[in-house]
Chains A and B, each alone.
Chain A
Amino acid sequence: MPAETWSQVRDVFERALEQDPADPERWLAAAACTEGVRAEVASLLRYHARAGRFLGEPVAARVPDLLDEQASLKPGQSIGSYVIVRELGSGGMGRVYLASDQRLKRLVAIKALLPRLTTHPSSRERFRREAQAAAALTHSGICTVYALEEVNDDLYIVTEYVEGRTLREDINSGTRPSPALLRETAQELASALAAAHSRGIIHRDLKPENVLRAVDGHIKILDFGVAHIEDDSGRGPRPRMTQPGLLLGTPAYMAPEQLNGEPADARADIFALGVLLNEYACGSHRFEAATPIAMMSRILGKDVPPVAGRLGHVAPDVADVIERCLQKNPGDRWPSAAAIVGSLQSHAAVATPPSRWWRMHQLAVLVLYVGASVVAWGVKEALETPASRWLFVGVGIGAALAGIVRGHLVFTQWMNPRRLVDERRRTAVVTLAGDLWIGVCLAVSGLLLVPVRPLYAVLTIALAIGVALARVLMEPATTVAALGRR
Chain B
Amino acid sequence: MSPPERHPPSLDEVAPRVYEELRRLAAAYIRHEHPGQTLQPTALVHEAYLRLVGAGTPWTDHRHFVGIAARSMRQILVERARARGAQKRWGGLDRVSLNETLQAAVEEDAMLPALDEALARLEEIDPEQVKIIELRYFVGLSVEEASDALGISPATLKRRWALARAWLFRELSGGELSGGN
Which positions in A face B, CB cutoff 8 Å?
Answer: 1, 3, 6, 10, 13-14, 17-18, 39-40, 42-48, 50-56, 58-71, 115-116, 119, 152-154, 243, 246
Tell me whether B169 is interfacial, beta carbon within 8 Å.
yes
Shortest C-beta distance, A73 to chain B (Å), equals 11
Question: In the complex, are the beta carbons of A66 and B80 less than 8 A apart?
Answer: yes
Tell me whether B39 is interfacial, beta carbon within 8 Å.
yes
Question: In the complex, are the beta carbons of A50 and B177 less than 8 A apart?
Answer: yes
Question: Chain A residues near B160 (CB, 8 Å)?
Answer: 10, 14
Q: Determine which of B24, B101, B166 lies in contact with A48 in the assembled complex, contact meaning CB atoms within 8 Å.
A: B166
Shortest C-beta distance, A188 to chain B (Å), equals 33
Given A43-B177, A55-B168, A243-B20, 8 other A-B contacts at CB below 8 A? A14-B163, A48-B166, A53-B101, A59-B109, A60-B40, A63-B77, A68-B80, A119-B83
Question: In the complex, are the beta carbons of B166 and A68 less than 8 A apart?
Answer: no
Q: Nearest 9 pairs between A and B by C-beta?
A: A60-B140, A58-B140, A48-B166, A60-B41, A52-B99, A39-B181, A47-B166, A47-B170, A14-B159
Tell me whether B149 is interfacial, beta carbon within 8 Å.
no
A52 to B93, CA, bound (A): 13
**Among A3, A50, A61, A65: residue with most chain B CB under 10 A:** A50
Question: Chain A residues near B156 (CB, 8 Å)?
Answer: 14
**Which residue of chain A has its CB nearest to the CB of B168?**
A55
- Number of B residues, CB within 8 Å of A: 58
Question: Chain B residues near A58 (CB, 8 Å)?
Answer: 41, 136-140
Shortest C-beta distance, A46 to chain B (Å), equals 6
Which positions in B face A, CB cutoff 8 Å?
Answer: 20, 24, 26-27, 29-30, 33, 38-42, 44, 73, 76-77, 80-81, 83-86, 88-89, 95, 98-99, 101, 103, 105-106, 108-109, 112, 125-126, 133, 136-140, 156, 159-160, 162-163, 165-170, 173, 176-177, 180-181
Question: Chain A residues near B33 (CB, 8 Å)?
Answer: 64
A389 to B172, CA, bound (A): 116
Question: In the complex, are the beta carbons of A66 and B173 less than 8 A apart?
Answer: no
CB-CB under 8 A for A60 and B139, given A47-B166, A51-B166, A53-B101: yes
Shortest C-beta distance, B120 to chain A (Å), equals 15
Shortest C-beta distance, B73 to chain A (Å), equals 8
**Which residue of chain A has its CB nearest to the CB of B85?**
A115
Shortest C-beta distance, A331 to chain B (Å), equals 37
Shortest C-beta distance, B132 to chain A (Å), equals 10
Shortest C-beta distance, A72 to chain B (Å), equals 10
Question: Chain A residues near B76 (CB, 8 Å)?
Answer: 67
Question: In the complex, are the beta carbons of B125 and A69 less than 8 A apart?
Answer: no
Question: In the complex, are the beta carbons of B181 and A246 less than 8 A apart?
Answer: no
Question: Chain A residues near B38 (CB, 8 Å)?
Answer: 61, 64
Q: Determine which of A47, A60, A70 lies in contact with B177 in the assembled complex, contact meaning CB atoms within 8 Å.
A: A47
**Among B80, B105, B138, B167: residue with most chain A CB under 10 A:** B167
Question: In the complex, are the beta carbons of A54 and B98 less than 8 A apart?
Answer: yes
A45 to B105, CA, bound (A): 26
Shortest C-beta distance, A13 to chain B (Å), equals 5
Question: In the complex, are the beta carbons of B83 and A51 less than 8 A apart?
Answer: no
Question: Chain B residues near A45 (CB, 8 Å)?
Answer: 166
Question: Chain B residues near A52 (CB, 8 Å)?
Answer: 98-99
Shortest C-beta distance, B8 to chain A (Å), equals 26
Question: In the complex, are the beta carbons of B101 and A47 less than 8 A apart?
Answer: no
A154 to B86, CA, bound (A): 11
